Structures are given as C-alpha cells and as structure tokens.
Structure 1
Amino acid sequence: MRTPTASARRAALAVAGTAALALSGLVSAVPAGATAAPHVYTKDGTSWVKACDTLAKGDTMACHALRVTSTAERVQPRGVTPNATPSGFGPSDLLSAYALPANGGAGMTIAIVDAYNDPNAESDMAVYRSQYGLPACTKASGCFKQVGQTGSSTLPANNSGWAGEISLDLDMVSAIAPNAKIILVEAKSATMANLGTSVNTAVNLGAKFVSNSYGGGESSADTSYDSSYFNHPGVAITVSAGDSAYGAQYPAASRYVTSVGGTALKKTSSGRGWSESVWLTNSTEGTGSGCSAYDAKPSWQKDTGCSKRTISDVSAVADPATGVAVYQTYGGSGWAVYGGTSASSPIIAGVYALGGTPSSGSSPASFPYAHTGSLNDVTTGSNGSCSPSYLCTATTGYDGPTGLGTPNGTTAFKG
C-alpha cells in the first residue's frame, strides 16, 4: 500500500488539479449528487473526451486514453465490412509511418496491464483484427489470455472507461505485432499497488514486453515501487508519459521503464511520407515530459537539464486529432478514434517485440540510446514553458516531449 504521506500528496494533487481546472474555466462546480459532464477538448475540428478520470486520487492512477466524439461510432453490420474503412489510422498506416515490417511478432508475448475488466475485450479485438486482415488471436487458440492481477481466471469488476483503454491497447499491439501472443492482466482497481502487482504477474506469465498506459503524480514512495514492480531486467516495460502537458508523472518517471511521449502524426508528400510534431492541445493537455523529483537518472541518459530521471525516452502518435482506429462495444458503439499517450505506449511495446526478445539481464530502456540514428528525430512543437527549453520543446536530438524520436524500423529497440 502507498504510504500515508504519498496518499496525502496524491489527494492534494487531486484537489489542486480540480481547483486549477475550475479557475481556467475547464470545469464548473457540480451540485452534490450530480455527475459532471466530461470536458470536451477541440483541436483542428476534432473533439474528444477523457476516457478515465485524470485527476490523481490518493494512490489511484488514471488511464491516458482519449476518445474522439466528433467521429460517428458504428458497430460493424454482420461482422467485417472491408469497404467501410474506419476513421483513424489503421495498421498499414502505422507500419508505414514507422517503417515497420508486416506480420511481425511471431514467438513473442506482449502483456497489457490495465485496471478493471472489459467483458468484450476478446470479441472486440477480433473485429479489429478481422477488419484489417490480421490473424485471429483467441483464448481458444492460446494466443490471447485474460487474467486478474494475480494471474487467476477471476476477473475484476467491469468498468466502461477502462474498457476503452483496454480496446485501444489491444488494438495497437495487434496493429504493430499481429503474430505475437497477448496477455491482458486486469488489476482489481487502479491503485499503483494493484497495477504494479499486475506488472509482476505479466512478467511471471512469460511476457517480455509489458505496456502500461496510466499514471499519476509523483511521490516519495515511487522509488520503492520501482524495486517492487518495475525492476525486471530483460523485460521491455513501456509507460505512457501522460496527457497533461509539461510535467512529470509516475510510473513514466521510473528509471526501469521506457517512457513514451506523444506526437501528432500527419501524412505528407515528403520522402518519408509522414511528418510529426509534439502533441499539444492546450496548456493543460498534451504529451507529458519533465524531470522526476525522486527517481535517479539512469546511466544511459546524458542530458544535463535534469539531475534525476528525464521524461520521455521515445515517442509515437498520440494526438487525438491524428488518432487511431479502435473497436469498442463495452462503453462504446463500435468503431471509434482514440488518442492520448495510451496509444503510444502499446505501439512502442509492439515495436520492441518486433525487435526480438531482449537479452537476459539487459535494460531495454537503454536500447534506443545506443541507436539514436535509427529513430525519426522530431524537431517541431512544444508542450509548455520550461527551462531549459529542451525539456518541453522539440529540438534536434534529445528533447523531453518526444525523447530521442519515433521508430524508424526496429534497430533502436533491439539489444
């Protein structure tokens, strides 16, 4: 359990966050017993809402999934309709943008860690994979496993907000590494202790790649969580950097994980065929970055603006305005478009899987730092104001919002 000091810190963050939003006009006072309507964010003609509560409460984490509301959702009639292409980027787009091989992931096992249960996880993933011509991945075939946080078949309570997160995670892993086995580990609640236990379960079940798309404010307890949940040599653990613009979150701040920032991804007529910039919606929403207050700097990070751990390491698409296609029917109405750094984390976990099993005892978070030339350097955009500026503004080489860049093939994720 998180210490009282840590819980108090997260509770204070929640109160402060609500007050700040109220002052900025993003939320208004809600009468007792009433339910606040989710705030709608808009950019470039696209509107979206947060799938999960994003204010830290005690030691509770928030998922980083953002669901687009300006694109009509629809259930596939009679299964798959190939000519009815869903909105949002699909697998072929992502493989093209990041120069990745098709049909990868054979022999690899990728785990997704989320909170609560999505009762339609398997069937919704099946529709996504069928729509895009990806191989089936089912429990019956042994390709897909869905377990509770201790690895048992007893699943936690259903939660429609986290179900959107689960669908996003499963679909992104399917898009990048369609031949990998997938383990969905569902924590009984969104506390760091339960989610961390789920990470350990994922590793114990054989996953060499574990994606985590959630976070909260840092606390003095985080270094103990590092050793209890995230120190798994030879396992690539990816964590989304957060959707609250400039500022550090945990567990993205853990020295043992690959912290994944977010970009806006657009098709262009360039040689690559794509361009990317830092994802920013406004002063309160965009990819996270910054300096950890508690976690030590890993030896492979050489930037000088943070005496401790710097967020992020690498990045991938996260802007809902340039979002990805997702199929979700529990808490959703079928095809939808999602964004947030919840998209970028499973994408990078999939890319690690394409690179092959990490060597025994290795620190996969260090791999990109040994292959900086094998990444797309993102050099435009920012996620806030800071000093030194590279912590919040894209620049040539390493920067906080996009790290070393986005995948350009799999070389930077091998080791």
Structure 2
Amino acid sequence: MLAAAVAAAGVLTPAAAAAPMSRQACPEPAPGQARCLTTYTPRAVRAFADGPAGWGAADLASAYRLLDQAGPDTVVGISIAFDAPNLEADLAVYRAQYGLPPCTTANGCFRKVNQQGAAAPLPPGSFGWAIESTLDVSMVSAACPSCRIVVVEGNSPGFADLAETEDTAVRLGAKVVSNSYGAREGGAPLAYASHYQHPGVTVVASSGDSGFTAASYPAVLASTVAVGGTSLARDPDSPRGWAESAWQYGGSGCSAYIAKPRWQRDTHCGKRTVADVAAVADGLAVYNTDVGGWLPVSGTSASAPFVAGLYGRSGRAGTAQPADVYADAARFTDVTTGNNDPNGAGKKCGGDYLCVAGPGYDAPTGVGVPDGLSGF
C-alpha cells in the first residue's frame, strides 16, 4: 500500500528504481574492450518529482553504520574510459543534496585528467560512460566525504588504455583505485594484470552485472578486492533497521585461469572465486546533467567505488589487501538470502553457494557487506 501511495504521488521509490524499464548505459563493447557496469532509468519513462530517486548518501550511511565524523583525505583513484564533461558540476549537486562538503578543483579535492595524467586534452565524451563516472564519484563521496578524488579518463575502454589509467592514478597519489568495469576473463585482458598490482595500493573492482557466469576481469585478479552487489531494503523490525539480499544481476564466477589464493578456502571452485565482499548495487540516486537531473542507477559500478571509499575512510587504504577481507570476515554483515541467477532462482549453479547467498561465504556477496569500517 505504501509503495502504491508513493508511486501515485509521483515519487519513485528505490524498489521501483530497479524496474525492468532500466537500460544499459553503454553499448556492447568491441573485442578487446571492457564493459561499463551501469544501468539507468530514462527520464522519459519515469514519473516523479525532480528530487533524488533511489538510495542516497544518508541512506547508505545508515545502512552501513558510518559514523558522522571527519575522516582522512585519502586520495581515491577512479579508473574510467572517456570524458564526462559535467562531472565536477554534477558531483557538486550530489554532495550539496546530502550535506557533504564541497569537493572541487579549486579546493584541491577533485582532479580530472587524461590517461597520461594531464588536465588536457581530455578524451572524447561518452553518454554511458559519463553516467558511470557520475556514479563512481558519487559513491566514493557517500562512503568518504573527506577523501580526495582523482578521475583518470582513458581514451577508450580498451584493456591497454584502462591499464594506463590505473598506473596514472597510482602515480598521482591514489592509495586505493576503483575499477567499475569488467570483461570476461581470458588471455587478452589478463595480459594487463600487472597494472592492477601496485605496492602500497588497494585495488577494488566490480564483480559484474551478468549474474553467475565466467569470472570478470579485473575483479578476478588475486591482487584485487572483488565487490559483488546486493539489494537493500528498510526493515524496521530488525536491530539493524535494514535488510539486504544478493542482487539478482550481481556478478560471481569461478576463474578458469587464476590459481586459488591461499586466503580463499571455499571448496567448490578450484581456482579464484569472485566475489570477496559486497555492497548495494540496486537503485542508487545520482545527478547527471545529460539525462536532465536526478536518476536511479544500478550496477556493481556502485558497490565497487563505495567500498573503495570505505577503504579510503578507514585509513588503511594501501595496506589493506584481499586477504584481509577473509581474515576479518566476522566484522562484516553476512548476507544469507537471494541469488544471482535471474532466470532460475539458483538452478544455474545447482543451488550452490556459487550463485545462492547463504550463511558464511558465498560467491555473490563474498564474506558479507560493510558493518561500519571495522572490516576495512
């Protein structure tokens, strides 16, 4: 009844934000390129007021028990393809909406460069990748309002260009780098694996948006914290006040190439299993000028930069590595419901933990979702 009443009033709820009307932000990638992992709901098929639609920074702070206190000014790097011309202005609207301090070029918080690290010339713009960039910087801001952000824009989503953005972000001082794109693992992308391993840097990547399937690169790398996706809902009857389940499209998989890390001990995948941790990936509110303002977006492109921001806020960015997630598993909130087999409710993996959430480790949500900063 509440959802119906809200919809009748012209306001889109977070649950409605994930409706089937959503569409992929980016076109299908060409061979040798990564996919951007964002879906959005076009304004033409939405009917709500001009305010935020979906979960905002205040909701995430509540759901993940983020205390209202100043954090460090850790540099968080965003590896992305193409230019988002309105990125700084759009981020300003998001941060003002949720009472977050300004993050601008002028105050030294925000920096946008090309893949060589120069302020100009920037690569060509891309509508879909710009939405992804907007989501990235918004989620870092929600997780760590005090962090500085450096966005490194590649000339293309090609593996070589994205690898260079990674190196550049590190060279410019990033202690944690977020990668919210992915490609099916294989020889071509894995040739660039070394670019996602830097001493003194924590690397985070989205697990993918195709459900249980082949493992996604660069999330599958043993040097990378792979972040899966969840769906979030208010639950006033629980002590936490929130309920969370595996997002039906969140990526998971068993690598065909990467050896099993010694710190990962699940038994039904003989090699690297994706994911390690998870966070909300369904129905996030962001502001993007190209689509006319506020819009709801979904994708593990939200959960990876959010987790990257938490690493930045924890003060352990750079020293924290994937193995630490498993050593600190008890400090995360276990997700025990849902699956990421959109068409078969878990049949794709035979009801196994590789695509069905349950007590303890499971591939869609890893060891669980953030409980404050204790696990980071």
Question: TM-score normalised to the size of structure 1?
Answer: 0.81
Alignment of 1:137-156 (within 5 A): 137-153=103-119, 154-156=121-123
> In 1, distance between residues paired with 2:199 and 2:172?
15
Is the Cα contact below 8 Å between 1:289 and 1:391 reproduced in 2?
Answer: yes
> In 2, distance between residues paired with 1:165 and 1:404?
26
Aligned AA for 2:234? K
Per-residue CA distance 1:318-357 (angstroms, 9 max, x = gap): 12xxx11100013x11111111111101111011112113
> In 2, distance between residues paired with 1:234 and 1:340?
28
Per-residue CA distance 1:191-225 (angstroms, 9 max, x = gap): 11111110111011110111111011111244432
Is the Cα contact below 8 Å between 1:108 and 1:357 reproduced in 2?
Answer: no
> In 2, distance between residues paired with 1:273 and 1:339?
22
Corresponding residue SS for 1:155: coil
Where does structure 2 lack aligned partners over 5 or more consecutive residues? 1-15, 342-347
Is 1:351 the equivalent of 2:310?
yes
Per-residue CA distance 1:27-65 (angstroms, 9 max, x = gap): xxxxxxxxxxxxxxx997563111112x44211111101
Per-residue CA distance 1:4-30 (angstroms, 9 max, x = gap): xxxxxxxxxxxxxxxxxxxxxxxxxxx
1:296 is aligned to 259
Is the Cα contact below 8 Å between 1:73 and 1:335 reproduced in 2?
Answer: no
> In 2, distance between residues paired with 1:116 and 1:172?
19
How many percent of aligned residue pairs carry the same amino acid?
Answer: 46
Corresponding residue SS for 2:252: strand
> In 1, distance between residues paired with 2:18 and 2:288?
24
2:241 is aligned to 273
1:82 is aligned to none
Question: TM-score normalised to the size of structure 2?
Answer: 0.89
> In 1, distance between residues paired with 2:17 and 2:88?
32
Alignment of 1:105-144 (within 5 A): 105-144=71-110
Is 1:327 the equivalent of 2:287?
yes
Is the Cα contact below 8 Å between 2:82 and 2:153 reproduced in 1?
Answer: yes
Is the Cα contact below 8 Å between 1:117 and 1:156 reproduced in 2?
Answer: yes
2:172 is aligned to 205
Distance 1:276 1:257, change over 3 A: same
Corresponding residue SS for 1:293: strand
Is 1:234 the equivalent of 2:200?
yes
Is 1:394 the equivalent of 2:351?
no
1:365 offset after TM fit, Å?
A: 1.5
Alignment of 1:301-380 (within 5 A): 301-319=264-282, 323-330=283-290, 332-358=291-317, 362=319, 364-380=321-337
> In 2, distance between residues paired with 1:43 and 1:50?
14
> In 2, distance between residues paired with 1:43 and 1:178?
25
Is 1:173 the equivalent of 2:140?
yes
> In 2, distance between residues paired with 1:44 and 1:128?
20
Alignment of 1:40-55 (within 5 A): 45=19, 47-53=21-27, 55=28
State the Cα RMSD in Å: 1.8
Where does structure 1 lack aligned partners over 5 or more consecutive residues? 1-41, 76-84, 281-285
Paired residue total? 350
Is the Cα contact below 8 Å between 1:103 and 1:179 reproduced in 2?
Answer: no
> In 1, distance between residues paired with 2:18 and 2:174?
39
Distance 1:44 1:91, change over 3 A: closer
Is the Cα contact below 8 Å between 2:18 and 2:298 reproduced in 1?
Answer: no
Aligned AA for 2:112? Q
Is 1:182 the equivalent of 2:149?
yes
1:106 offset after TM fit, Å?
A: 2.4
2:31 is aligned to 58
Per-residue CA distance 1:204-255 (angstroms, 9 max, x = gap): 111011111101111124443222x111132121111111111111111111
Per-residue CA distance 1:75-116 (angstroms, 9 max, x = gap): 7xxxxxxxxx51211111101111112344422111111100
1:150 offset after TM fit, Å?
A: 1.1
Is the Cα contact below 8 Å between 1:59 and 1:191 reproduced in 2?
Answer: yes
> In 2, distance between residues paired with 1:96 and 1:188?
37
Is 1:261 the equivalent of 2:228?
yes
> In 1, distance between residues paired with 2:255 and 2:320?
19
> In 2, distance between residues paired with 1:377 and 1:278?
11
Aligned AA for 1:408? D
